Structure 1
Amino acid sequence: MPDNILFLQGPVGPFFKRLGKEFTAHGHNTFKINFNGGDALFYSNSESTNFVGTVEEWPNFLNEFIHKHQIKRIYLFGDCRKYHLLAKKVCANLSTEIHVFEEGYLRPNYLTLEKDGVNGNSKISRIADNYRQSDRNSLDEDQYSGSGFMYAAVFAILYYLAALVWRYKFPNYRHHRSMNVLIEGLYWIRGGIRKHVYSIGERKIRRRLTKQGSSDVFVAILQVHSDMQVKTHSSFDSIEEFINEIIRSFSQYASKDARLVLKHHPMDRGYTNYKGVISKLAKHYNTQDRIDYIHEINLPSLLKNAKGVVTINSTVGLSSLHHGTPIKNLGYAIYDIPGLTYQGGLPEFWKDTGSIDMDLYERFRAWLMRNNQIRGNFYRNFNRTYSVTGLRWPQLLEDTHLASLQKPKQMIRGKLVKPVTSVSSGV
């Protein structure tokens, strides 16, 4: 039956508003709470409410809102944000469900949607036997080519600009990162410039790393410096600490013929550059001639030719498994399952990476596709034939989130239209 649905903070941009239209088309009632001007810019209508109180006042406000509007489900993006953590606590004592969106566990152009939490907070089983009898046939993977990066960049700049302009309307708001629109804009511009500079300057190293036969290369995946999964679901306090641990261990235990490649995160190129840190550590551990630091490279080619991959808990780990390259996690990851990832210590991994149970991986991947992965993109609609969001829902998630007793209304370019009914001529 139709539900009353509430949206909290989503990805920057109009994704939640589009999703609201999709839910409405299926007969559900939608509401939105905005916390700052950026939220209001992309979702401001009769369904939206501005929360202007303090963080301390938020739980009571939400509790009253849920009861007043009889909210059955709440959707949010990122379950480690302060307001969202408090929302989960409020709903723990109610019948209201929490559903969390996140970037896809599978890449590219997948979204993750799970009940109660994602990544380290996910309830996905880490027991291999739970997947060994699962169907290994995955869904039809039609191609969603292209990237949503430029859309995300534009939406981010508009979001922070609106948050600045309308800051007086939300005087008590606390963001999970810097809200300085000038600085954020400069970071994104610098990131775009660096992308082109690195693309040209790293050609030689790209050719060497992606050619066949580079079998003694280990790849360390660097995550975004502000990634909540690093801060919340690992023992590392920073990416610099992770880099130090990797280089120290590599210098002590890896073969002298092995090389280490540290891969920068593309969404972090405008914010950080670890060249100085890496050079200093490489010199300290006497590994200058065996370490590479790279930004722009075809990741599948790099992973396919690598001997092993080390990460904190990046979803790149699933890409590594897809290419048959052993991986060692140093944090808490949903795919850190015996048979998929190396379960020994990092010193031993440099010497013997072990192997991957590819049958288990294929069954696990197919399970993800059926249970929590949605084809699409938060920032760009690749296929309007599916819906106003462009999402292609697996059957289980469609039944759980979209279905109601009402017949879905037709949508054309995001607008609801009345269905055409045939009229008998009476002849």
Structure 2
Amino acid sequence: MNKENRNIIGGRQIEINGSVLLLIGPIGTFFSRLSKFLKSKNINTYKILFPYKEYGFKKNQIIKFNEEMNSFKLFLLKVIEEKKIRHIFMYGDVIIPHQIAIETCIALRKKGYEIDTEIFELGYLRPNYVTLEKNGVNFKSNIPRDKKFYEKLEKVKVIPKAKYNIGLRVRKLWKGITFIHHAFTNYQITEYDHKLQPKPIYLYYQLLGFIRKYIYMIEEYKIKKNIGKRKNFFLVVLQVSKDSQIVEGSDFNNIENFIKYVIASFKKANIKDCQLVIKHHPRDRGYNNYKKLINTEIKNNQLKERIIYIHDLKIASLLRNKKCKGSIMINSSVGIQSLFHNVPVKVFGKAIYDIDGLTDKKNLEEFLQKPSPPNQELFKKYFNYILQTTQINGNFDGYFPFDHVFNIVN
């Protein structure tokens, strides 16, 4: 183990004992780095290259697929057989080829084949972690949701603190290059609008988001400074619009319906000297602005000066504020951050942490009136379990502990 790996805190480790196939990775160079690592360990590594350009692979690794998605399953089966594939890696489980790969491999395992599907995703624990799970992530994750499962685990005295090694952040430059190429590539890989399938207009939204960041920084300075100074507040965390966590993982279908529901419930709860702080998702800054909708709901519900809408403000600073009485969200990783800071959580959807003893099971109106804090002993067990079984202390653009994560068996 090299010197850097000695600083890694626990985390997922897997055994590589056969040929590897890479599908679509995170935008940037992460999968090419993974490929180089595996090749250096004498692991046969192949990359299916869709019309979406991904850089850093050698010609003898690349297997091109330019056909319609209805022919991908047979193509994939042929590749698995010819290349004797044992492990398939991908980023996210939302796009069509990844869904096909997961379902295909499940069917093959039932027939006795040894083949794993491993899915990378942004970290459940943030910052400084990425996720790596078998067969599904986020609301499709196989993480146990049963309170009794965690109660039986050994007591955890202290939650480990992640080490942060920023690495070569210059790699982020490749994200921009790749994103631009993808935006001008007309090839369907999702069933609905998604950030993993950008369009030319998304380049405008990205630029708009960059500009808006500094506009909001000026416009909201005084508002942010006064949050939690005098009045208690509940934090409402918005998701990215049209994210799978909303479209597939919840009953709301869109952010607008969620906002209306939360504001209406806040009105019914009739809590004195309390505010709602609605925080926009940073990755959705250029795509949407809910100010007009929120102002309309404020007027309809007669909640003037009771609701604050903000954009860029560190979540941790809000959660550490003693005036923060709870957080409300749909399938957001902020829920785990809230539990970490002992802030009561009301979550909608199919969150991996929506477990008795961690989140509040009352309806939203009752939660706002009397929020229940999480059981910290249970949370420490939960945190440690997902850390050890699904998380990796590293990042896609900077340092990643390849030697620590992948145990090579030749």
Range class of TM-score, shorter chain: 0.7 to 0.9
Match for residue 250 of structure 1?
A: 266
The question of 1:141 aligning with 2:162 is answered yes
* Shift in CA distance, 146/357, structure 1 to aligned 2, threshold 3 Å: farther
1:269 aligns with 2:285: yes
* Corresponding letter in the other structure for 1:119: N
Task: State the partner residue of 1:48.
Answer: 62
Are residues 144 and 293 of structure 1, via their aligned partners in 2, closer, same or farther at CA, if it must alter by over 3 Å?
farther
- Aligned residue in 1 for 2:393: 375
What does residue 64 of structure 1 align with? Answer: 78
CA distance in structure 1 between the partners assigned to 2:282 and 2:57 by the alignment: 28
* Matched position secondary structure for 1:20: helix
Number of the residue aligned with 2:316: 300
1:226 corresponds to which residue?
A: 242
**Partner AA of 2:40 in structure 1:** A
Partner residue of 1:75 out of 89, 93, 112: 89
**CA displacement, residues 257-282 of structure 1 (integer Å, 9 cap, x when unaligned):** 21001100011111111111111111
The 5 A counterparts of 1:276-315 are: 276-305=292-321, 306-315=324-333
Aligned partner of 2:3 in structure 1 is: none
**How far apart, in 1, do the equivalents of 2:138 and 2:198 lie?**
28
Q: Which residue of 2 aligns with 1:98?
A: 117
Shift of residue 129, structure 1, vs aligned partner: 2.4
Q: Which moved more, 1:136-145 or 1:110-119?
A: 136-145
Which of 94, 97, 100 aligns to 1:86? It is 100
What amino acid maps onto 2:392 in structure 1? I
Change (3 A) 1:193 1:147: farther
- The answer to whether the Cα contact below 8 Å between 1:253 and 1:350 also exists between their aligned partners in 2 is yes
1:405 is matched by which residue type in structure 2?
Answer: V
Matches within 5 A, 1:359-370: 359-370=377-388
> Is the Cα–Cα contact under 8 Å of residues 24 and 91 in structure 2 kept in the other structure?
yes
Instruction: Give the Å deviation of 1:301.
Output: 1.2
Q: Structure 1 CA distance, aligned partners of 2:317 and 2:161?
A: 24
Report if aligned partners of 1:198, 1:295 keep a CA contact under 8 Å in 2.
Answer: yes
TM-score when scaled to structure 2?
Answer: 0.87
Q: Could you say what secondary structure the match of 1:31 adopts?
A: strand
Q: Kindly state the Cα deviation for residue 46 of structure 1 after the two structures are TM-superposed.
A: 2.0
User: 1:45, CA displacement in angstroms?
Assistant: 3.2
**Structure 1 position 362, deviation (Å):** 1.3
Query: 1:404 and 1:156, CA in 2 relative to 1: closer, same or farther beyond 3 A?
Result: closer
Does the CA-based 8 Å contact 2:236-2:279 persist in structure 1? Answer: yes
Give the TM-score, by structure 1 length.
0.84
User: How far is 1:109 from its partner?
Assistant: 2.0
Alignment partner of 1:405 is 2:409:
yes
CA drift of 1:392 comes to 6.8
Measured after TM superposition, the shift of residue 371 of structure 1 is: 1.1
Q: In the TM superposition, what is the alpha-carbon distance from 1:145 to its structure 2 partner?
A: 5.7
Matched letter for residue 307 of structure 2: I
**Aligned partner of 2:201: which letter?**
I
Quote how far apart the aligned CAs of 1:198 are: 1.1
Report whether the alignment pairs 1:21 with 2:36.
Answer: yes
Q: Secondary structure at the match of 2:319?
A: helix
| Match for residue 131 of structure 2 among 87, 112, 128 | 112
Which secondary structure state, in structure 1, belongs to the residue aligned with residue 132 of structure 2? Answer: strand
Counterpart residue identity of residue 163, structure 2: D
Instruction: Using the TM superposition, give the Cα deviation of residue 182 of structure 1 relative to its aligned residue in structure 2, in angstroms.
Output: 3.7
Q: Which residue of 1 aligns with 2:140?
A: 121
Pick aligned residue for 1:239 from 237, 248, 255: 255
Where do 1:311-330 residues align within 5 Å?
Answer: 311-330=329-348
Q: Which moved more, 1:81-90 or 1:62-71?
A: 81-90
Does the Cα contact within 8 Å between 2:182 and 2:198 map onto a contact in 1?
no
RMSD: 2.3
2:11 counterpart residue number? none
1:140 deviates by 5.4
The offset of 1:24, in angstroms, is 2.5
1:76 alignment partner, SS class: strand
The question of whether the paired residues in 1 share the 8 Å contact of 2:345 and 2:373 is answered with no
1:144–1:352: structure 2 CA closer, same or farther, 3 Å change rule? farther
* 1:198 counterpart residue number: 216
Q: Distance in 1 between matches of 2:198 and 2:352?
A: 33
List runs of 5+ in structure 1 lacking aligned partners. 384-389, 407-427
State the percentage of identical aligned residues.
34
C-alpha offsets along residues 323-356 of structure 1, whole Å, 9 cap, x if unaligned?
1110001111001111110011111101100121
Deviation at 1:405, TM superposition (A): 3.2
Equivalent residues, number = 383
- Measure how far apart 1:49 and its partner are: 1.3
Q: Which has the higher contact order (CA 8 A, sep 6+)?
A: 2
- Shift of the 391–319 alpha-carbon distance from structure 1 to 2, 3 Å rule, reads same
Which one-letter code corresponds to 2:131 in the other structure?
Answer: T
1:11 maps onto 2:17 in alignment? no
Alpha carbons of 1:143 and 1:362: their partners in 2 closer, same or farther (altered >3 Å)?
A: same
Runs of at least 5 residues in structure 2 that lack an aligned partner in the other structure = 1-15
